[in-house]
Amino acid sequence: MSYKIAAASSDGERVDRHFGHADLFYIAEVADDETYQLTGKRTLKSPCRHGIHDLQEMQKAVEVIADCRYVLCEAIGAGAATVLEQCRITPLETDELITKAIENIILYRKRFKKMQCAAPTT
């Protein structure tokens, strides 16, 4: 099943933004055959203002990437992570190149699927 990944990045190359400070997400779509392509970017108002988190802006930020299965960010606070997880978006912290981080997700999902198929049934 295809899915999307949002990456908090200032340049479209490296994951380098804290979720709460991100005002731009690059979007990748992973196809059923595990190939992927960057499909665009989405802008938003960052929900963190000098250490103060605006819950309404946090909800708006999550809505911008609500169709994504994962979000890559340099760092994320517990509150934002909880809001994302409630919306079935898995937050992941990394400072890798976006392409490398996406490849790591694909590899993880492939290995997890293989483990599920190999698990004995009782």
pLDDT tens digits for 83-102?
A: 999 999 999 999 999 999 99
Number of folded domains that form the chain: 1
Q: Which domain does 43 fall in, by range?
A: 3-118
For 52-88, how does the pLDDT look when each residue is reduced to its tens digit (9 = 90+)? 667 788 888 899 999 999 999 999 988 889 999 999 9
Decide if pLDDT at 51 tops 80: no
Q: Domain containing 52 — which CATH number? A: 3.30.420.130
What is d(CA 23, CA 36) in angstroms, rounded to the nearest whole number?
23
Radius of gyration, CA atoms only, the chain: 15
- Of 81, 121, 113, 116, nearest to 3 (Cα)? 113
What are the backbone angles phi and psi of residue 79, rounded to the nearest 5°?
Answer: -65, -45
Residue the block writes with tokens 């981080």: 101
SS3 33: coil
